[in-house]
Amino acid sequence: MAEHDIFVPSPEIQKLQNTIRDLHRISKTGFEEILATAHLILKWLENPESHCHPNIVAYALSAIRDKADEANNNAHCVAKKADCQHIDSAEQRRIHAWIKAKKLRKRLSA
């Protein structure tokens, strides 16, 4: 390859690069929002008057939960689209055990 030649990645490499960029964007944004909200909650709790308003902390914690769930779902969708999703083998075993148990219960009740 000559010094002036430009490397053009294959479509597969480009897809992987785009997936990694998307996952980075999703996780970075989600984690920064969670971090900021948690920081504000901790500062809020340093004020004695804040303890008279537990609903405000509850709403903030709900926002953290919802943001984490949203970021997780978005990252999963991006990874799945690129066929790079994480497969939790223990979860898969539990699902298969549940299916087998359901079939067994059905046979025993017949």
Residue 86: the pLDDT is 81
Residue 105: inside a domain: yes
- pTM value > 0.75: no
Residue 100: inside a domain: yes
Residue 1: inside a domain: no
Domain count, the chain: 1
Instruction: State pLDDT tens for residues 51-78.
Output: 999 999 999 999 999 999 999 899 888 8
Residue 23: inside a domain: yes
Residue 71: inside a domain: yes
Residue 90: inside a domain: yes
Q: What is the mean pLDDT of each run of 10 residues along the chain (110 residues)?
A: 75 87 89 93 93 92 94 88 84 94 92
Output 56-62 pairs: Cβ under 8 A, ≥24 positions apart: none
Residue 4: inside a domain: no
Residue 45: inside a domain: yes
- What residue numbers bound the domain in which 93 lies? 11-109
